[in-house]
Amino acid sequence: MERPAAGASYQRFPRVRIRELRDEYAKFELRDTDASMANALRRVMIAEVPTVAIDLVEIESNSSVLTDEFIAHRLGLIPLTSSAAMSAMRFSRDCDACDGDGSCEYCSIEFHLAARATDSGQTLEVTAMDLRSTDPKVCPVDQADAAGDSRGILIVKLRCGQELRLRAIARKGIGKDHAKWSPAATVTFMYEPDICINEELMETLTLEEKQSWVESSPTKVFDIDPVTQQVTVVDPEAYTYDDEVIKKAEAMGKPGLVEINAKEDSFVFTVETTGAITAYELIMNAITVLRQKLDAIRLQDDDGDLGELDAHLVGG
| Contact residues for 136 (Cβ-Cβ < 8 A; gap 6+) | none
Q: Which of 45-59, 84-98, 179-193 has the lowest mean pLDDT?
A: 84-98
Computed over its alpha carbons, how large is the radius of gyration of the chain? 27
Share above pLDDT 90 across residues of the chain, in percent, rounded to a whole number? 76
- Distance CA(30)–CA(190), nearest Å, equals 10
Q: What is the pTM of this model?
A: 0.83
**Residue 102 scores a pLDDT above 60:** yes
**Residue 115 scores a pLDDT above 80:** yes
Average pLDDT over residues 149-175: 92
- Distance CA(19)–CA(268), nearest Å, equals 9
Quote the Cα angle for 263-216-270, to 5°: 40
- Distance CA(282)–CA(43), nearest Å, equals 12
Q: State how far the alpha carbon of 269 is from the alpha carbons of 19, 125, 189, in Å.
A: 10, 38, 4
User: Which domains, ranges and CATH numbers included, belong to the chain?
Assistant: 15-46+187-268 (3.30.1360.10), 51-181 (2.170.120.12)
The pLDDT tens digits of the residues spanning 181-228 come to: 999 999 999 999 999 999 999 999 999 999 999 999 999 999 999 999
CB atoms within 10 A of CB 139: 21
pLDDT confidence bin for 12, thresholds 50/70/90: confident
Which is more confidently placed, 101 or 140? 140
